[in-house]
Amino acid sequence: MIGREGSRTLSLGIDAGGSYTDAVVMDVIERQVIARAKAKTTPEDLMMGMSDVMASLIASRSFNPKDIKFTGLSTTLATNSILEGKGGRVGLIGIGWVPEKDWTFDCVMSSFIDGGHDVRGHSLSALDTEGLIKAAKKMDGMADSMVISSKFSCFNPIHENMARSAVREVMDMPIIAAHELSTDLGIYERTNTAVLNGMLLPVINDFLKDVTIMLSRFKIDSKVMVMKGDGTMMDIASAKIRPVETIMSGPAASAVGGRFLSDLDTCFVIDIGSTSTDIAFLRKGLPPVSAEGAIVGDRRTHVHAMDAYTIALGGDSHIFTDETGKLKIGPRRSVPLSAAALHYPELVKKIREKKRSSFMIPHMSRTSSLSNHSSTILKWIRENAPCTPEEIMDSHPEMYTCKSVIQDLTDRGNVILTGLTPTDILLAKNRFDHGDKAAAKEGIYVEAVKLNMSAEQFSMKVIDKIIVTIGKAVLTKAIMDQTGDSTISKNLSKITEVMTGGSFMDVMNVTAELNIPIVGLGGPAKVFLPALEHRLSAKVILPHDHDVGNAVGTICSKVSETASVQIRATKGGGYELVSSFEPPARIKCLEDALEKAKAMVTDHAMNKAVRAGGAGVTVNVEVDSSNFSNHADAFVDWIEVRARATGDPMGRPFSS
């Protein structure tokens, strides 16, 4: 029943995943989910899926929308946009450096001028202002945003700041200074991060604008925060400026949600989704952040993202028998037969007649860039789906390139394949309650015959293989975290397979005993994870609301920002402070230099956290002198002073 306005202070969490959009309304103080809903994600227009899930929440009549004072979001939009090469046009101006031969950036134009600094933050040469303005004017009208990236701006940002001010006087477009997105060494990665940020500006800004309109339509007036890839949050204004930081926000939301729902500071969080399974190892309540920066596609960035181990196994993974007669699951994603049959009732008959589970159906609606042949084939598929590639080619004998056209439509996402999936297995065994059970059973029968098995034997084999695959991934993640080595050898793969019951060795017994509990998230977790209690001697916890744990995670995190200063001895005596936010400063006494550095990082981190939407901000300062010997060698000899400022998005008195 809807309560009267103001009777509660509630939070709304929305996670727009690859296949499903999950949402919860939660009383975080009482740790109680008031309402929950799921809807299919609509990749061509995320607002459709989000509006559907919001309508379901409102229809529950279990809360007053006006009581929602906080909204948290996580989305795959940034990651997917980069992978698909979508976004705004970016111009790049490099200062004091030129790219190496194998460096590529996703920009429409680039220019490189004199200027920049050395590793101590000292000027290499004066900023070429004339060359800067000339390059910028060439980009006017060609680019939607501009990136300015200066050599060693992480130790002195003055040339980036000067260049930005100069360009703003002659043109009006978003200008991104690379040092504001990354303070790490590595001009290539720092520039790449800034360029990707420029690509994402129109994509994320349009998305957040639509979210604001949608919330208003549902009469929700709340503070809106966005999950970052490192498991912390930023407000909507910050997200519009630094959208690249939302990369990997989905796995981060799952980790935070698992920690909150289980109330465990140290655990493995396993989130089994529709397309993948993410495994995070939390220590002291925080997901570890990749030291090297997130990799999206083939692009290395400086984005601080959660260090999760991801495998291509989920509810929509394609189940098939390969040419050698072995059962395979994934990595390709398929539309579950049980879901496809709801839209195409004739699918059940076609599975039976063709003795196959893979058929083509239309997917994305975008057709603006399709060739005439592609448009013709796509139109035929829409009129005749579900269909096979052979049927398409037989209907277009005059089109010699038909096979490649079909492949292109599939690669673009205009067409997708149906297939037997774990979702179908669960539906047939009454462990899932949405879809056409007849289609699922028909698909299981077709695939079981290929292995000379009964439907029940085949289903149990699939379930066992999924359990083994997830168990192997948990052990692999644990070993990699302990050793710091990401290499997965054949020997390691074999041993972890034996430990999880996937095979055996007759010369010895190999078992595992996990000392860390496993927290399961996602709808399928209740089916596949309990078996790991026996196989890995692990405590498995499936918290209440585990199937919407990712949405819970979007409203149970903190705002957190960092700042760092390096203190370096100078050859003439005294010390120099270098940072990405102030020009170098010289101080004679080391003790005074330390105090000055602590004050600098404290103020800068706190201001960043407040700007990002944090309330009740506290700051923790650390001093790392492990690289310091007072020998005045700038490349290997320094003290690093770091600060982390943490605050709650709403100043709420609970620990997340």
Q: What is the DSSP string of 104-118?
A: --S-SEEEEES--B-
Pairing relationship of beta strands 68-75 and 223-227 according to DSSP bridges = parallel
Which of the listed residues 173, 202, 231 is the one where a domain comes to its end? Answer: 202
Please tell me the predicted confidence (pLDDT) of residue 636.
60
**Domain range for residue 630?**
559-648
pLDDT at 592: 94
Task: Please answer whether residues 551 and 15 qualify as being in contact, where contact means their C-beta atoms are separated by less than 8 angstroms.
Answer: yes
- The predicted pLDDT at position 297 comes to 65
Q: Which of 182, 202, 222 lies at the terminal end of a domain, its last residue?
A: 202
Q: Which segment of 84-98, 299-313, 570-584, 630-644 scores lowest on mean pLDDT? A: 630-644
Bridge partners, residue 279, by sequence: 270, 309
Please, what sign has the CA dihedral across residues 591, 592, 596, 599? positive
Q: How confident is the model at residue 655 (pLDDT cuts 50, 70, 90)?
A: very low
Question: Reduced to 3 states, what is the DSSP secondary structure of residue 123?
Answer: strand
Residue 61 has pLDDT above 80, yes or no: yes
- Distances from the Cα of 595 to the Cα of 49, 501, 582, 600, 637, angstroms: 52, 57, 16, 9, 19
Q: What tokens does 556 get?
A: 């149970």
Domain membership of residue 229 (yes or no) is: no
Query: Nearest-5° angle of CA 252, CA 256, CA 258?
Result: 115
Classify residue 613: in a domain, yes or no: yes
Q: Using one digit for the tens of pLDDT, what is the confidence trace for 555-601? A: 988 888 999 999 988 887 889 999 988 888 999 999 999 999 999 99
Which of 516, 512, 12 is closest to 267 using CA atoms?
516
* Cα 440 to Cα 437: distance, rounded to the nearest angstrom: 5
Evaluate whether residue 615 is within a structural domain.
Answer: yes
| Cα–Cα dist 217/211, whole Å | 10
Is residue 76 within 8 A of residue 86, CB to CB? The reply is no
CA distance 381 to 391: 10
Judged against a pLDDT cut of 70, whether residue 652 lies above it is answered with: no
- Measured distance CA(233)–CA(96) in Å, rounded: 34
Cα distance between residue 25 and residue 552, in whole Å: 9
On whether residue 343 sits in a domain, the answer given is no
The pLDDT of residue 301 is above 80 = no
pLDDT at 654: 44
**Any domain includes 60:** no
At 519, the pLDDT band (50, 70, 90 cuts) reads: very high
Instruction: Indicate whether 53 pLDDT > 70.
Output: yes
Residue at 226 is within a domain: no
What's the longest Cα–Cα distance across the chain?
86
Q: Quick one: 368 exposed, middle or buried, by C-beta within 10 A (0-12, 13-18, 19+)?
A: exposed
Residues 361 and 386: their CA atoms lie apart, in Å, by 5
Number of domains forming the structure of the chain: 2
Mean pLDDT of all residues in 1-24: 78
* Residue where a domain terminates, one of 202, 236, 266: 202
For the segment 339-356, what is each residue's pLDDT rounded down to a tens digit? 999 999 999 999 999 999
Mean pLDDT (the chain, rounded)? 88
| Strand 32-40, strand 145-150: pairing | unpaired
Residue 570 lies in a domain: yes
Token pair belonging to 532? 């790991």
**pLDDT tens digits for 401-434?**
899 999 888 887 889 999 999 999 999 999 888 8
Domain containing 639 — which CATH number? 3.30.110
* pLDDT confidence bin for 7, thresholds 50/70/90: low
Rounded distance between C-alpha atoms, residue 136 and residue 168, angstroms: 10
Specify the higher pLDDT residue, 391 or 4: 391
Instruction: Report pLDDT for 393.
Output: 93
Bond preceding residue 386 cis, omega within 30 of 0: yes
pLDDT at 40 over 70: yes
- In this structure, is residue 582 part of a structural domain? yes
